[in-house]
Structure 1
């Protein structure tokens, strides 16, 4: 009886481990702050420079960064850190003041006037 219980527990543990297998082509969408095409280029370049990221497209209007990445090589937190390190905030990770201040004046998405200016240009 003890052997049967042990075998059942081992099978359940094996199933649990296999269910947590990391995906080679994981898909995710994260919000990233920015306002213009220069931001788009910077955000996408940063994301794609992360080992394991295969696809990164940022939408200027929705602020969605669509990703395909290898979970065996990277994770969302690492991608968000890389994006923040080039000056763009995500919900969880904010760019440092120093990095943000080095952005081109057109890209200062924290400035309400800059955001409003880009909204008017988009009309």
Structure 2
């Protein structure tokens, strides 16, 4: 019985170890529209998911740098998450209704000035 239990534990450990090796950290950068610190907070908050290791949006360059675990998630799905909170990316535009609910200072389409 002890041998069987040891074998089961060893197999569980081996399978979890092989899964961990399949996931690798990928670095990506892409354009994300926004104007201010509130935009920065919203954009970075949208990236606070377990698959994302690091996310930082540069307000003046309008570039989001992200380190994420692949193949657990894709860069396209990250861009969709950004669009869902009201910010256009180089691939997906935010829904107009979501964009319209942003604070006035965050309306980058109407007032593209960074502040």
- When the two structures are superposed, what TM-score results if normalisation uses the length of structure 1? 0.72
Runs (4+) of structure 1 exceeding 2 A deviation are none
Q: Distance in 2 between matches of 1:84 and 1:22?
A: 28
Per-residue CA deviation, residues 4-43 of structure 1 (Å, 9 max, x unaligned), is xxxxxxxxxxxxxxxxx96511001010000100000000
Q: Distance in 1 between matches of 2:56 and 2:65?
A: 5
Q: Distance in 2 between matches of 1:38 and 1:83?
A: 14
1:25 partner SS: strand
Alpha-carbon RMSD: 1.6
1:38 partner SS: helix
Between 1 and 2, higher relative CO (CA 8 Å, sep ≥ 6) is seen in: 2
Q: Distance in 2 between matches of 1:86 and 1:25?
A: 24
1:115 partner SS: coil
Equivalent positions of 1:53-92 (< 5 A) are 53-92=52-91
Q: Distance in 1 between matches of 2:105 and 2:41?
A: 13
Unmatched runs of 5 consecutive residues or more in structure 2: 1-20
- When the two structures are superposed, what TM-score results if normalisation uses the length of structure 2? 0.77
Which has a greater percent of helix?
A: 1
Which has a greater percent of strand?
A: 2
The number of residues matched between the two structures is 95
